[in-house]
Amino acid sequence: MTNKIKRIAVLTSGGDAPGMNAAIRAVVRSARHFEFEVYGINRGYHGLIYGDIKKLGTNDVANILHRGGTMLKTARSEEFRTTEGRIQAFNMLKEHEIEGLIVIGGNGTYTGAMHLCKEHNVKVVGLPGTIDNDIYGTDYTIGFDTAINTAIDAVDKIRDTADSHNRLFFVEVMGRHSGYIALHTGIGSGASAVFIPEVDNSVEQYVEILKKSGRRNKLFNLAIVAEGNQNGSAAEIAEKVKAKYDKADIRTTVIGHLQRGGAPTANDRILASRLAYAAVEALSKNKFNCALGIVDKKIVYTPFKDAISLVKAPEEELIRMAEILSM
């Protein structure tokens, strides 16, 4: 088989996500099948600017499938946001004779990839690597499944204390401006409320729910708070509720970066492997300037412009179901 591209590279950028290593492994192994040389770029776009690039073989990616984080490390690069920085990055690609690039990350990573495509005609393909699940053009992102399993496991442990002491816990999860983690965690943990950016939940409404729970002798409650919701942090919401309902013994917990770490679930390993294989295959067919995803179990290609600008919001039916189940 004759390929138009002979040498490709892969990098991870932005926040780390469980499954990134599985994706890197699949890129390297797939590249061998398609007769590509493959290089790894350390520390994302920052490493690309400064030439932190090394050739990767199958031995280099052995025994990483089950590991969290990213073997290539990751970083956010202010220099790459500049025209000069991207020129330097492009020159590094030319110096190493790299003709195709696979980037794994979120919206910021895709924005950088789009600029490389537009300004220097670099053949770039993107994979959605973020726990937030906020990338348009894919049902799920790499790392999301692991993150919600980690969050639910943490909330289950908090539930034991909440039940033992008849307490109300506000548990804050990550997600930036997306409520996916909070919504799925709330449903999976049986929370009495979920505060997410996509819904204008009022503290007053939740206080009424607590009063009804009290009349049913439900003595403990759990509320999941997305970090980007309109009512503030878990601590801020707790203070507002306490001012209006003094019968609850209120505590707050922030799960934080715990959600980013740990071994990826089977779902994330398979998703990452499938998308990475499809990315290498896309470059072999001269498809680029697009982000790959899975929609309805099928691989889809979304232009970077759409993947960045179009909003992916949680399904209204899922939000409605969460509200009904919490009553």
Active-site pick, 132, 134, 145, 268: 132
pTM reported for the whole predicted model: 0.95
Fold of 145-260: Rossmann fold (3.40.50)
Tens of pLDDT, residue by residue, the chain (327 residues): 344 799 999 999 999 999 999 999 999 999 999 999 999 999 999 999 999 999 999 999 999 999 999 999 999 899 999 999 999 999 999 999 999 999 999 999 999 999 999 999 999 999 999 999 999 999 999 999 999 999 999 999 999 999 999 899 999 999 989 999 999 999 999 999 999 999 988 899 899 888 887 666 666 799 999 998 999 999 999 999 999 998 889 999 999 999 999 999 999 999 999 999 999 999 999 999 999 999 999 999 999 999 999 999 999 999 999 999 987
Residue 157 CA to residue 172 CA, distance in Å, equals: 14
Answer CATH for 7-143+264-309 from 3.30.1490.190, 3.40.50.300, 3.40.50.150, 3.40.50.450: 3.40.50.450
The H or E element containing residue 128 is strand 123-128
User: Which residue is associated with the tokens 């759409």?
Assistant: 306
Domains 7-143+264-309 and 145-260 fall in the same CATH topology: yes
pLDDT at 188: 96
Which residues are paired to 291 by β-bridges?
126, 302
User: Could you write out the three-class secondary structure of 283-310?
Assistant: HHCCCCCEEEEEECCEEEEEEHHHHHHC
Q: What are the boundaries of each domain within the chain? A: 7-143+264-309, 145-260
Residue 2 CA to residue 270 CA, distance in Å, equals: 28
220-314-256-273 Cα dihedral, nearest 10 degrees? 130
In angstroms, how far is CA 138 from the centroid of its own chain?
Answer: 11
132 is catalytic: yes
Residue 291 CA to residue 298 CA, distance in Å, equals: 14
Give the pairing type, strands 53-55 and 37-41. Answer: antiparallel
pLDDT at 218: 63
